[in-house]
A and B are shown apart, each in its own frame.
Chain A
């Protein structure tokens, strides 16, 4: 059962918008929300947004760009922050208050619920500790080549530690070291 089924107990909503799906073009989100706007909403009606992916931050103390865009869209469509709700892992209270002040004249900021619940792939549980199965020292899976993962791989190579572990970096061609 989706962890977000709990929302059905308390709120009326048309859809849960996963913000990440609109990162490539947020005008699509604008147009979808525009179709749902009304003159009046039930007290427990909410526009609900999932905000679990990483955002773009110009600096570490500014709200994410896509969060700012969301606030602009809601303000532009005259959707009060009261009727908006963000589900996220992050404590974005300060960001939302900044955006309320900088982007709107609303009396309240968008509400958010911080939760570790997520609709993600749950790994199958091992049945026993299987300590006797340990054959290598560490595991490092790095499918997307992010900077810190690149740093890690470079140092594992330099210190000749690759053979001590199971390591992946990028795609899965049989690239061998020279």
Chain B
């Protein structure tokens, strides 16, 4: 149960236990609830031999850890990017979305509504030619989740050779994202940032 403890000086709100609205959204879909009951809270799983986060911790050089990441990132077709937030007032994106982009791979987002549009607004392209991206418009968390799951199922129904063919088919999009990320993206964002700093100095 959430308790808000008010600390009198300087009147700050403290949250105990620490949690976020992201974690506390209700689920009503019976099939989702039933499915989730099959996993215990302490369940953990991994089915590949390189643990990228462990490598990040023990690697003596950043290059060693990055190489492990690149190999893993390119060994698959679709990246299912599960962002930190799923049911939350804002879209929050970080380095997770940059992994498929830097690896020439397509992605689906398990994130807040509008997150995919945010990525497009930054200048990247997405994959609506190959699957239904209407999940990005879906405000209902359960329906949004099921739509993303449907894409994953669709991809899993295909053979590796068919996926390689699909990857070749979307190479122009993958190449655009890669070139943009390592080219103009940072330059454009810095220019926007620079302009925003100038505007902040104007009288308000």
Contacts and interface: CB of A to CB of B under 8 A. Distances in A.
Task: Tell whether A and B belong to one assembly.
Answer: yes
Interface of A: 3, 6-7, 9-11, 23, 26-27, 30, 43-44, 46, 52, 54-61, 65, 68-69, 72-73, 76, 82, 85, 89-92, 108, 111, 113-118, 120-126, 128-159, 161-175, 177
A132 B12 CA distance: 56
Interface string B62-84: 11001101111111111110101
B3 interface: no
Contacts of B145: 148, 151-152
Contacts of A55: 20
Interface in B31-60: 32, 35-36, 38-39, 41, 43-48, 51-54, 56
Given A138-B78, A151-B145, 4 more contacts: A60-B89, A132-B164, A133-B71, A138-B76
A120 B44 contact: no
B152 A6 contact: no
A166 B48 contact: yes
20 contacts: A6-B190, A6-B197, A57-B88, A61-B89, A65-B13, A69-B13, A89-B92, A115-B192, A121-B62, A121-B95, A123-B98, A126-B74, A130-B74, A136-B75, A149-B110, A152-B145, A162-B47, A166-B48, A167-B45, A171-B44
Nearest to A58: B21
A175 to B, nearest CB: 5
B82 A82 contact: no
> B38, B45, B84, B110 — which one has the most chain A CB atoms within 10 A of its CB?
B45
Contact of B35 (A65, A158, A174): A158
B25 A147 contact: yes
B158 A72 contact: no
A155 B10 contact: no
B90 interface: yes
B93 interface: yes
A123 B73 contact: yes
Contacts of A118: 94-95
> B7, B74, B182, B189 — which one has the most chain A CB atoms within 10 A of its CB?
B74
Nearest to A114: B196
Contacts of A9: 194, 197
B30 interface: no
Nearest to B69: A123
B192 A131 contact: no
B179 to A, nearest CB: 10
A152 B110 contact: yes
Nearest to A46: B200
A35 to B, nearest CB: 14
A129 B167 contact: yes
Contacts of A164: 156
A169 B86 contact: no
Identify the 7 closest CB pairs spanning chains A and B, nearest first.
A124-B66, A170-B44, A148-B86, A129-B104, A90-B90, A139-B76, A140-B80
B160 interface: yes
Interface string B131-167: 0000000000100010001001101101010011001
